[in-house]
């Protein structure tokens, strides 16, 4: 069932440009994929490890500005710039992490929110480097691979899709591993994790760095995909939007970040005429979801699946997936 879901999703994702070669629709979906990569990052730290990083968008911005500046000012090609952007985000994650992870619960959220705001302010005001509020324009797309040019919509779409698949694969591998279990164990019962010999601060730092890597990756891809960049991408509102996508999709699940992002980005497009009022719809939607689907769409689907096939997968298959089912 789970495999069938992913195969269907992959077929749809690969098939979209062929079925619907409308460049506007394709662009909306590709941007949603990029956002989903960042939401996967948020899921690692919040959904798995139980820590709310309210500065998540700032790490996205570090990756984005890293790629933009290295390409524009230093003349780096896209791929090394992307690697450097991710690295920049992870290094910042390391330093923010070793300080902020000493705090627990709400204090961690407040601390990271402050870091996010500070980075936002720096990006806005260091206008000699970042272009301030104007931002950076004409960021080159990734270089051609053979005859394929990433200035074209369809190759760009597939490139973003490939990076999304990479991000999902990373999360799925981690989640079902000894390391991922340790993340989830910390979120579940930190004291017992310590009693079983887990170096909790160190493990949290690893989770935090992995999540900032995914944020930086999303940011770097965003910069080259869209071609221009402003400090508005680093704000607290962006983090809250990603948080909304995660909660709606299903916190701690593998499919949730993608489902939530696609659904809400789709609804946003649909509500474009009433752009500034869309939260009037999002707000109640969120309330309804939290009441009826506390584990988001992914959790709702898992419940539906159990109802249709109560004694579903074989016990051995269930062992690997059970923690996710439990979380979803």
Contacting residues toward another protein, per CB under 8 A: 170, 173-174, 177-182, 184-185, 188-189, 191-200, 206, 210, 315, 318-319, 322-323, 326-327
Q: Alpha-carbon dihedral of residues 74, 75, 78, 81, nearest 10 degrees?
A: -20
For another protein, the closer CB: 8 or 326: 326
User: Shortest gap between Cβ of 176 and another protein (angstroms)?
Assistant: 9
For another protein, the closer CB: 56 or 295: 295
For another protein, the closer CB: 54 or 246: 246
Coil vs helix vs strand at 143: coil
Residue with tokens 């911005």: 61
User: Shortest gap between Cβ of 191 and another protein (angstroms)?
Assistant: 7
User: Shortest gap between Cβ of 170 and another protein (angstroms)?
Assistant: 6
Coil vs helix vs strand at 145: strand
User: Shortest gap between Cβ of 147 and another protein (angstroms)?
Assistant: 32
Judge whether 282 and 264 are in contact, CB under 8 Å: yes
For another protein, the closer CB: 276 or 316: 316
For another protein, the closer CB: 92 or 193: 193
User: Shortest gap between Cβ of 199 and another protein (angstroms)?
Assistant: 5
Residue with tokens 């309210």: 54
User: Which residues lie closer than 8 Å to 84 by C-beta, 6 or more apart?
Assistant: 66, 67, 70, 76
Cα end-to-end span (Å), the chain = 15
For another protein, the closer CB: 166 or 270: 166
**Alpha helix positions (H), the chain:** 2-19, 23-42, 56-72, 78-100, 106-125, 127-130, 153-175, 178-188, 190-195, 200-226, 236-249, 256-270, 278-292, 296-308, 315-327
User: Shortest gap between Cβ of 316 and another protein (angstroms)?
Assistant: 9
């Amino acid at each position: 069932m789970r495999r069938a879901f992913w195969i269907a999703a992959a077929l749809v994702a690969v098939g979209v440009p062929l079925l619907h070669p409308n460049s506007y629709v394709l662009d909306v979906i590709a941007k949603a994929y990029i956002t989903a990569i960042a939401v996967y990052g948020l899921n690692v730290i919040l959904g798995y490890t139980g820590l709310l990083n309210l500065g998540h968008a700032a790490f996205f911005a570090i990756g984005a500005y890293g790629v933009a500046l290295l390409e524009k000012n230093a003349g780096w090609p896209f791929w090394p710039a992307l690697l450097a952007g991710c690295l920049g985000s992870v290094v910042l994650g390391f330093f923010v992490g070793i300080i902020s992870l000493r705090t627990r619960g709400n204090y961690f959220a407040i601390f990271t929110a402050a870091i996010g705001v500070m980075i936002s302010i720096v990006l806005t005001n260091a206008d000699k480097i970042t272009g301030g509020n104007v931002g950076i324009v004409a960021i080159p797309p990734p270089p051609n691979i053979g005859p394929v040019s990433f200035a074209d919509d369809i190759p760009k779409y597939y490139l973003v899709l490939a990076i999304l698949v990479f991000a999902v694969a990373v999360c799925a591998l981690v989640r079902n591993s000894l390391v991922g279990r340790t993340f989830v164990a910390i979120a579940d019962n930190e004291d017992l994790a310590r009693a079983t010999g887990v170096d909790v601060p160190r493990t949290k730092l690893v989770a935090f760095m992995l999540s900032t890597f995914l944020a930086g990756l999303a940011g770097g891809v965003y910069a080259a995909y869209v071609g221009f960049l402003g400090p508005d991408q680093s704000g607290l509102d962006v983090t809250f939007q990603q948080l909304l996508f995660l909660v709606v999709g299903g916190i701690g699940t593998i499919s949730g970040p993608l489902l939530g992002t696609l659904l809400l980005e789709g609804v946003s497009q649909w509500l474009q005429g009433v752009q500034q009022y869309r939260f009037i719809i999002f707000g109640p939607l969120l309330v309804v979801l939290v009441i009826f689907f506390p584990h988001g769409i992914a959790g709702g689907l898992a419940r539906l699946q159990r109802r249709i096939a109560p004694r579903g997968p074989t016990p051995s298959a269930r062992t690997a997936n059970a923690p996710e089912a439990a979380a979803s």
